[in-house]
Amino acid sequence: MADETRAPAPYTEADLSLIKRIIPHRYPFLFIDKVRDIVPHEGGVGIKMVTSNEPHFQGHFPEEPVMPGVTIVEAMAQTSAVIVGISMNIIDKPLATYFMGIDKCKFRRMVVPGDVLELHCKALRGGGKIWKFEGRATVDGQLCASAEFTAMMALKADD
């Protein structure tokens, strides 16, 4: 349930341009194209258009390309970092994000070129530097992967 005392965030959706203003990831390690349905301090849904020209498919696997599970989890984490950035109004500021733990991680379905990967991320704990999320990755409503993950997110100190 949303905290009624918090001011509403100006964004309920983040396109690629806004994502890059929040998180430092860039090609070839940026694994989300947009984030929609953002509810500050609660969650949102990341979108990843899976294409055959992504570099990991050259080796995983050339004859039968499959998106690596670790990149699916990373895409959930990037989605969550965007949600935190919007929740904490950390836009155009140097946000440092570090994984602290991944729990209950399971893979259920392969993700392949042509899929539209939806990354449903829900905040379980957060508001300060330490956030915990529950993520579910789906394609066409089918569960592909799920995990709980904890990360520390804070503004980098000025140089």
Of residues 123, 117, 134, the one with CA closest to residue 83: 123
CA dihedral 41→79→141→125, nearest 10 degrees, is: -30
In a domain, 11, yes or no: no
| CATH code of the domain in which 63 resides | 3.10.129.10
- Alpha-carbon gap, residue 29 to 16, rounded angstroms: 13
Query: What pLDDT is recorded for position 8?
Result: 52
Query: Hey, which residues are catalytic here?
Result: 60
Of residues 111, 106, 105, the one with CA closest to residue 150: 105
Phi/psi at 52 (nearest 5 deg)? Answer: -70, -15
What is the model's pTM?
A: 0.92
Query: What pLDDT is recorded for position 6?
Result: 52
Query: What pLDDT is recorded for position 43?
Result: 98
The parent domain of residue 92 ranges over: 16-155
| E strands in the chain | 34-39, 43-49, 95-107, 116-125, 130-139, 142-155
In a domain, 53, yes or no: yes
Tens digit of pLDDT at every position of the chain (159 positions): 444 445 555 799 999 999 999 999 999 999 999 999 999 999 999 999 999 999 999 999 989 999 999 999 999 999 999 999 999 999 999 888 899 999 999 999 999 999 999 999 999 999 889 999 999 999 999 999 999 999 998 888 764
Beta bridge partners of 102: 149
In a domain, 72, yes or no: yes
In a domain, 2, yes or no: no
- Alpha-carbon gap, residue 71 to 8, rounded angstroms: 31
